[in-house]
């Protein structure tokens, strides 16, 4: 039970720090551990957080699946879920389907920041920044920082914060 509690807390923290990729991995492990312990409320909680992580990564289908699982479990135990904004698709109409965190990273890349500088400013690991860049490049169909910077300027994403 302590491992499950720790995994859930760690996943929450990773999600709050904007590291959705790592948070999703941690939250999947937490959900599995709670499932093995047969504690549906905590499985539902982990599933809700996992849905938020999936949404942050831009995977809306997986997010909705996690939210649906959480909703079903909460209903089975008689808990009321006030999902509010969580279950609604995100309102952001960012070009390329970029998440808010990806927009932050892209803005800093366009400002000429190196991965280490971005990591320090956003309180992420350099590896996480690299993952965000890979996701950004894939979403907007570019292969370099300069092309991503051009995209940011063309889409008027620079200086919007």
| Residue 92 pLDDT > 70 | no
> Which domains occur in the chain, in start order?
2-76 (1.25.40.10), 95-154 (1.10.10.10)
Q: Over the stretch 112-133, which tens digit does the pLDDT of each residue have? A: 999 999 999 988 888 989 999 9
| Residue 159 pLDDT > 70 | no
| pTM metric for this prediction | 0.57
List Cβ neighbours of 25 (8 Å cut-off, separation of 6 or more): none
The pairs formed by 138-142 with CB atoms below 8 angstroms and a separation of 24 or more are 139/58, 139/96, 139/97, 139/98, 139/102, 140/95, 140/96, 140/98, 141/96
Q: Over the stretch 94-108, which tens digit does the pLDDT of each residue have? A: 788 888 888 889 999
């Amino acid at each position: 039970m302590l491992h499950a509690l720790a995994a859930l807390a760690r996943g929450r923290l990773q999600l709050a720090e904007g590291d959705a990729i790592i948070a999703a991995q941690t939250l999947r492990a937490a959900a599995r551990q709670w499932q093995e312990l047969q504690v549906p409320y905590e499985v539902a909680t982990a599933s809700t957080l996992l849905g938020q992580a999936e949404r942050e990564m831009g995977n809306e289908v997986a997010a909705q699946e996690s939210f649906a699982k959480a909703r079903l479990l909460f209903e089975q135990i008689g808990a009321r879920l006030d999902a509010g904004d969580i279950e609604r698709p995100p309102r952001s109409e960012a070009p390329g389907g970029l998440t808010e965190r990806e927009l932050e990273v892209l803005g800093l890349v366009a400002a000429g920041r190196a991965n280490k500088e971005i990591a320090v400013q956003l309180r992420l690991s350099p590896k996480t920044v690299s993952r965000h860049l890979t996701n950004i490049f894939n979403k907007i169909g570019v292969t370099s920082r300069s092309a991503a910077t051009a995209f940011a300027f063309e889409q008027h994403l620079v200086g919007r914060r």
